[in-house]
Structure 1
């Protein structure tokens, strides 16, 4: 334990300026132990994970403070919204006086925001469900919290993106840093310059390479300092252990285990995400393709799918049937596709986009 206490010269637990808490009392494996009795041996790996988790937590807290400082003091007329208190019923998309934009409570709808629609460089997407959200803008910080059954696209995030407590969500982003915390059955399509950080109690999350573009993407990436030549999407760094007091994810009698990390998306499940060109000739961007290099295995899968589609089209064109039967077949295919749109809920997205 004496050697462990020596780490206190480098790591301080507690508020800055306050009297430091001894590490042996702050750490869960030594807390309340009798100093006059020999310490119970603790695996070095467990100590290492605990230190890394505290460093990660401190970095996240520091990031929040920096974001607040850069965006200016809060306004009494527009107080910040705590994530846990975010309203889930109202539909709200508004900039705050201090430069943080809230997209909150979107349900069964689609939303598109350009840089000109935002004030400041921070976006928080809170409690949005069964929706598709497009943020086509350069950002410094972004947060996605408490969303489910949604697709969320965030243009270019130059400092940090945090995704927390989401379920069955697809997040697509180009970012400098990404932190994923306590998410379930989510897929993250990433163009990220640093290792994605995985913390908390995650289940069945997947990572995949970046899969889209819009006309101003490369300009926005350059503006916030994201390099297209570096993509560490497949190098997630997992910190922490599963909470032994969580009876749902950690049944009684099961010893502590390493927190669940992310797996790579099966290349056969990988598809490109198409961002509609709503603004036509008004867009002055020069990006015409995905700026991140696609790994060979995903590229080969795409080529195979395109080849299969081409072969099916050719078979239909060359099928030895009369023209009126071909028209009937074409109508049947269109009807099946329309049925799929309604069954999947995607028809609503098309109507919303047309309405915009």
Structure 2
């Protein structure tokens, strides 16, 4: 909780994060403890962060009676990307609306957490909040006075001359009346205009190139059931893109998407219900959520904050990320470069962890932009949380070297990266080298077999036939066919 709060609340530059990771990677355990003890977050912000986390657990009684539980991932509704304002299931609400209702119903308790009980307002018994407390409230609330053309901290809005009588701000006391501030927030609160539901309702449709297999029936089905991709980048103020620019990719099936563009850069990406797809998002990203996908491969550019994998089956994730969390997933392979231990929550089964095993020309440039280096990689030290984790029957394992292959990103880009950042762990490097020697030995054996020209042609035809059969049976044929579609990999 502390690390996540620090990551989200403190404005640490990419250079500072890189320097921190480098120092930690070279420090002894004793020095590491000393460095970590010096990390600071705002106390009031941390209190708010913990308050929200305490409501992650679903109380059936409370949800039936009050309906004001903080929405959890497991209760998130299916995305309705048809443009309607309401979800398909009327018994569920989109998370953005739930968040707003939660704040409205609990604003008094939230403000009391920020209260200094030895301070009082102008009227007897009316408690007051300091400027510092209202500033901390900006960790979960933001505002605008010009129809979201610009965003302002909540304390700046509350201190405007025209609003002081409603927000309860006293110039003399330099504090806020808790009662008036509470009423003003409840009356003024609206749903997040840059949230998921707003993006679904009024986001701009993105026509990113997609590839489909060469089978005519599959091409027809892919065009009829085209995945939906939308963004709110056109409505988010430029100076407030961080954390607010969203891209939603929903129901992409049997297709390949490759993208590295300014629209994608520094966005928060939500990948939902994709199946049998290959998604190459080769740009620096803010955060990524992958939900309810199956038989899908996701290759991400460096992620500044967090990758969250939830309710997925047979998904391969390849990512450089500050943090990664896996929840309720089965048969998933994660190839990671991360300075923090992967968090494995409850509900998982057959999760395989492996080192990051690919690169593209701009990878290190993008890593520097988000503050992730190759000095420290904690991919093989997962933090397991939940009642279903047992030492004698873990839900995760390290990928055996015999099953490890490097991954090739088949697109041309300009850039300086020519190899996997940080290299591979020794046992995986040895496995790759051994396999390379086997290939060399096989080629030498064929060369020295003394085959005639006709025999070489027959042998080549046999090998190609078996290779195409393997491509078809393994599903790789469709992947290659997708890449061959014109403009399928447009950047």
**1:331 alignment partner in structure 2:** 461
- Note the C-alpha offset of 1:66: 6.9
Asked whether the equivalents of residues 238 and 261 of structure 1 are also in contact (C-alpha less than 8 Å), the reply is no
Q: Secondary structure at the match of 2:350?
A: coil
Looking at structure 1, the residues matched to 387 and 196 of structure 2 have their Cα atoms a distance apart, in angstroms, of 41
Q: Which has the larger radius of gyration?
A: 2
Structure 1 residue 131 displacement after superposition: 1.3
Provide the rounded CA distance (Å) in 2 between the counterparts of 1:102 and 1:13. Answer: 26
Gap runs ≥5 in structure 2: 1-45, 60-98, 100-137, 152-191, 202-224, 237-244
Bigger drift between 346-355 and 214-223 goes to 346-355
Contact 2:268 2:288 in 1 (8 A): yes
| Counterpart selection for 2:408 from 253, 271, 274 | 274
Distance across 2 between alignment mates of 1:14 and 1:213 = 37
Q: Secondary structure at the match of 2:253?
A: coil
Choose which of 223, 226, 229 in structure 2 pairs with 1:93: 229
Counterpart of 1:300? 430
**Do the aligned partners of 2:295 and 2:313 also contact (CA within 8 Å) in 1?**
yes
Name the Cα RMSD after superposition.
Answer: 3.3
**Which of 226, 231, 238 does residue 372 from structure 2 map onto?**
226
In the other structure, the counterpart of 1:262 is 396
The match for 1:289 among 393, 408, 419 is 419
Runs of 4+ in 1 over 3 A off after TM superposition: 10-16, 65-73, 75-78, 256-261
- Partner Cα separation in structure 1 for residue 58 and residue 193 of structure 2: 35
SS of aligned partner of 1:220:
helix
2:142 paired with 1:142: no
TM superposition shift of 1:331: 1.3
Unaligned segments of structure 1, at least 5 residues: 1-9, 29-60, 83-88, 243-255
Greater displacement, 340-349 / 228-237: 340-349
Summarize the Cα distance change of 1:233–1:306 in structure 2 as closer, same or farther, 3 Å threshold: same
Match of residue 352 from structure 1: 482
Q: For residue 51 of structure 1, what is the aligned residue in structure 2?
A: none
- Partner of 2:33 in structure 1? none
Counterpart for residue 246 of structure 1: none
Matched, 1:343 2:473: yes
Q: Tell me whether 101-110 or 258-267 shows the greater mean CA deviation.
A: 258-267
* d(CA) in 1 for partners of 2:416, 2:140: 30
Aligned positions of 1:126-275 closer than 5 A: 126-242=272-388, 260-275=394-409
TM-score, normalising length: structure 2:
0.53
1:180 Cα shift? 0.8
Aligned length: 282
Query: Within the alignment, does 1:312 sit opposite 2:442 as a pair?
Result: yes
**The structure with more helix, counted as a fraction of residues:** 2
Alpha-carbon distance, 1:261 to partner: 3.9
* Aligned residue in 2 for 1:57: none
Task: State the shift of 1:79 in Å.
Answer: 1.6
8 Å Cα contact 1:183/1:203 also seen in 2: yes
Counterpart contact for 2:254–2:276, Cα < 8 Å: yes
Distance change in 2, residues 1:75/1:237 (3 Å): closer
Structure 2: distance between partners of 1:123 and 1:27: 26
Q: 1:74 aligns with which of 193, 199, 202?
A: 193
The answer as to whether partners of 2:200 and 2:230 remain within 8 angstroms in 1 is no
Structure 2 CA distance for aligned equivalents of residues 111 and 152 of structure 1: 10
Residues 229 and 66 of structure 1: CA distance in aligned 2, closer, same or farther (over 3 Å): farther
Q: 1:116 offset after TM fit, Å?
A: 2.9
Q: Secondary structure at the match of 2:302?
A: strand
Deviation at 1:352, TM superposition (A): 1.6
The equivalent of 1:42 in structure 2 is none
8 Å Cα contact 1:179-1:199 kept in structure 2: yes
Q: Distance in 1 between matches of 2:362 and 2:256?
A: 20
Task: State the Cα distance separating 1:134 from its structure 2 match.
Answer: 0.5
8 Å Cα contact 1:229-1:293 kept in structure 2: no
2:452 match? 322
Superposition TM-score, scaled by structure 1 size: 0.71
